[in-house]
Amino acid sequence: MNNREITQRFADVADMLAIRGDNIHRVLAYRRAAEAIENLGRDVNQVYAEGSLTDIPGIGETLAEKIEEMLTTGSLAFYDRLAQEIPPSLVDLLKVEGLGPKRVKQVYDVLGVTTLADLSAAAQEGKLRDLPGMGAKSEEKLLKAIAALARHGDDRVPLGNAWPLAQEILAVLAKIPGVTQTAVAGSLRRMKESIGDIDLLVAADEAAVVMDTFVHLPQVESISGHGPTKSSVTLFNGLQVDLRVLPAERWGTLLCYFTGSKSHNVHLREMALKRGLSLNEHAFTPVDGGPEILCATEEAVYQVLDLPYIIPTLREDRGEIEAAQAGRLPDVIRTEQIISDLHMHSTWSDGNATILEMAKAAQARGLRYIVITDHSVSLGIANGLSIERLHQQAADIRQANDALGPDFRILHGTEMEIRADGSLDYPDEVLAGLDFVIAALHVSLSQPRAQVTERLLNALNNPHVDMIAHPSGRLLPDRAGADADWDVVLETAVATHTILEINANPRRLDLRDSLARRAVELGATLAINCDAHHTEHFDFLHYGVATAQRAWVTPDAVVNTWPLEKLLAFLSK
């Protein structure tokens, strides 16, 4: 079994245990295990071979034994036993909006429903409305939710699609009189690379007008809930959006609670209980009675627990709370620390702006230097540059530098193709004449692991290659990218002092956060670049920075924070 298969098996076990009604800590243990393997950044088979499974965060002896069982036998006896009690098909029912684990167990126990088709048939026949806690309206909502699932599916939505849409909705809500604060929450605020739905929060004294405006937005296809403090809608693109409204004095606990992650929140609640407090979205409440402790800010929530503020992108219960308690919380990279971009395209290849236009756009955003890295010759679909055109481009860069003056610098580079046979697109004598050389995979990404790894190693070991761009070559959500031996690739990048890119384009976010964290642990040097093909693409930067934050990357490891002189000295070695 591979990482994806073990991740799915643990996720299924967690859902099945939740449906059965097991203790929340047991459910979360399997969810954390699924996330740990998904975010491992290494082949779990290699980790097992090293005898290091328990070194994976969230994996103790018991879970390590289960992983070993799956790796050595291809199955998991515990899952097989659980499946005899809780049909695995029940997990699919959790995809229906409004159906939680308890309700799924109820329709299974009472009505014998095991599949989405069974559920739809039971609802159409009016069998759900008589269940305790249901009714005709709830049954009607479920029918609509099942229909919406059939229309739109349940695929997670890329971060780059969800973020601007959420900001668009919040901009409308923020203009309503009486609204004092707005925010995204959930996995979107934690900037995960994909999200299941959008959670929005609003602070206002009067919720009614906010709710009414929300459910009647032009993007709304259907309304699945419209209450005094919470409403839920489905947009025409299939995304579910939930809105919650609370008074401003409860904003801190509201925002913290609904940002998550669930594991992070459970950890915070356990810390609160040790202090004699119960924590939910409304307030801290003394368990022995007494007045609520209201928190108007998230900082206040963490202060009650004697913790420094933990930014949303770190809240995955991957050691951030322990690091905060020990005073070792990393001072991660911030957008305002970025002063350069080392990967972009102009009209010389497949970009939409001239070199001077790209430079002026970068300068307007506060950058101090850039590298023009148009595609190399073999990427014909992107109008890649022949050696002759590459030399001609140098004159264009000199003219742009002259036009911009001494306070901004454009370097001449290339994004050179690593061909399917592992060779590089330009000879060494051409590369030696460039300021900055990127190598990248774009084709033959489905090659066997050994072959695609060798291609990357060939580029890494070339003394003229300064950076590997979007190392896996993935495109979200459809192209998974190359299956390389990432341990070997990352270690070689460290040994050869080759920069590894976190590509900020939301369709890439490559290196992914788990690989970036592993890279930093090994001592790699990273870059965060927008891969801009248009001047507006510089606005992608925050996606790349968020990915780096999720990987616990500090500014010293990111070359884009370095003055030009420091970068040039690094490259000269």
List C-alpha distances in Å: 560 to 106, 148, 420: 55, 44, 30
Nearest CA to 169 out of 204, 206, 198 is that of 198
Instruction: Write down the pTM of the prediction.
Output: 0.80
- Domain edges within the chain: 3-152, 157-246, 254-325, 335-572
- Assigned token pair, 222: 């259907």
- Token duo for residue 409: 């610098």
Task: Give the CATH H-level superfamily of domain 254-325.
Answer: DNA polymerase, thumb domain (3.30.210.10)
Cβ proximity of 266 and 24 under 8 Å: yes
Strand partners of residue 183:
201
Contact 288, 320 (CB under 8 A): no
Superfamily of domain 157-246: Beta Polymerase, domain 2 (3.30.460.10)
CATH code: domain 335-572 is 3.20.20.140
Q: Which residue has the tokens 């990432």?
A: 486
Query: pLDDT tens, position by position, for the chain (573 residues)?
Result: 888 789 899 999 999 999 999 988 898 889 889 888 876 767 789 899 999 999 988 899 999 999 999 999 999 999 999 999 999 999 989 888 778 899 999 999 999 999 988 998 998 999 998 899 888 888 888 887 787 677 555 567 889 989 999 999 999 999 999 999 999 999 999 999 989 889 999 999 899 999 999 999 988 888 989 999 999 998 877 788 999 999 999 999 999 999 999 999 999 999 999 999 999 999 999 999 899 999 999 999 999 999 999 999 999 999 999 999 999 999 999 999 999 999 999 999 999 899 999 999 999 999 999 999 999 998 877 889 999 999 999 999 999 999 999 999 999 999 999 999 999 999 999 999 999 999 999 988 888 899 999 999 999 999 999 999 999 999 887 677 888 999 999 999 999 999 999 999 999 999 999 999 999 999 999 999 999 999 999 999 999 999 999 999 999 999 999 999 999 999 998
Strand segments, DSSP code E, in 251-389 are 277-279, 284-286, 340-341, 369-372
Alpha-helical (H) ranges within 461-533 are: 486-495, 513-522
Q: Alpha carbon 508 to chain centroid distance?
A: 11
Report the CATH architecture of 3-152. Answer: Orthogonal Bundle (1.10)
CA distances from 13 to 58, 87, 268, 314 (A): 16, 11, 24, 26
Cα–Cα distance, 476 to 493 (Å, whole number): 24
